[in-house]
């Protein structure tokens, strides 16, 4: 049985603020949630009350499975200066530790203009080797997320799972891996079985949504019994983030995936 972690940016919004969404998710039977940036720096209209969030997590015994590194990674040349990323990394790690969150999600941004792709991937390895050295001993794992450029993230450098795996192999740390998002991979037309076989144990977190429309499982074209079967066969047994835009009320939108995940 997979542990499912509703994304509280998108699900249980009916409950109100983020801490109330945690309580609503727990009341609906979930013992894990995930979220985006911890301070709302990328969404100023929705700042998070971190003490209240922590209290809700502790009160309900809910695990926060993942949060984004802030600001959202934008590695570009020019400039060479990535000091803001590294400065905020320490802040994010401190927040993750306080909230009991074991993972932080990082990305590639739009890349380094005019450079060959291979050079850019190697540059990402250098950046994340430095990041891992900086947070050594924190216990926090960084997970690198490739995202689709066809629909949701045009212009992003890292859109292929295999390239995220290449970067993770280059970083070569038990505290660095790949976030495999079933939705992004499907939009890019990837073969899930082949991608997971290539990635192996480097997959340290998984998210999902259906295609098309990025709604809950059952609203699109993916066979979720098949997809969860492929995931299980790959050896992944960690949590799965539910990062979708619900087409119905939150507690109703999770019904299918909860039933299927219970038997996967």
Sign of CA dihedral 249, 5, 225, 153: positive
Phi, psi of 211 (to 5 degrees): -115, 145
Give yes or no: 243 in active site: yes
Of 34, 70, 145, 163, catalytic: 145
Q: Is 70 annotated as catalytic? A: no
Angle between helices 50-60 and 18-27 (to 10 degrees): 10
Q: In Å, what is the CA distance from 117 to each residue of 65, 122, 256?
A: 32, 9, 40
Give the integer Cα–Cα distance in Å for 133 and 5. 29
Q: Check if the beta carbon of residue 244 is closer than 8 Å to that of residue 215.
A: yes
> Which entry of 9, 163, 190, 243 is annotated as an active-site residue?
243
CA distance 208 to 215: 9
The catalytic residues are 145, 243
């Amino acid at each position: 049985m997979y542990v499912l972690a509703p994304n509280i940016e998108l699900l249980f919004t009916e409950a109100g603020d983020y801490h109330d969404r945690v309580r609503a998710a727990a009341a609906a039977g979930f013992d894990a949630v995930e979220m985006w940036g911890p301070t709302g720096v990328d969404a100023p209209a929705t700042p998070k009350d971190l003490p209240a969030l922590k209290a809700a997590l502790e009160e309900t015994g809910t695990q926060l499975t993942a949060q984004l590194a802030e600001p959202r990674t934008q590695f570009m040349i020019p400039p060479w200066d990535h000091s803001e990323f590294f400065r905020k990394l320490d802040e994010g790690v401190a927040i993750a530790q306080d909230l009991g969150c074991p993972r932080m999600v990082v990305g590639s941004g739009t890349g380094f203009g005019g450079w060959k792709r291979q050079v850019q991937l190697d540059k990402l390895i250098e950046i994340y080797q430095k990041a891992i050295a900086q947070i050594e001993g924190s216990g926090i794992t960084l997970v690198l997320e490739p995202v689709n450029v066809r629909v949701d993230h045009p212009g992003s450098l890292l859109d292929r799972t295999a390239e995220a795996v290449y970067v993770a192999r280059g970083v070569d740390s038990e505290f660095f891996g790949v976030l495999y998002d079933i939705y992004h991979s499907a939009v890019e037309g990837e073969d899930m079985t082949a991608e997971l076989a290539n990635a192996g144990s480097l997959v340290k977190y998984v998210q999902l949504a259906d295609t098309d429309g990025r709604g809950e499982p059952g609203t699109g074209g993916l066979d979720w019994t098949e997809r969860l079967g492929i995931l299980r066969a790959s050896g992944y047994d960690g949590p799965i983030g539910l990062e979708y835009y619900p087409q119905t009320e939150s507690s109703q939108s999770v019904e299918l995936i909860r039933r299927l995940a219970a038997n996967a």
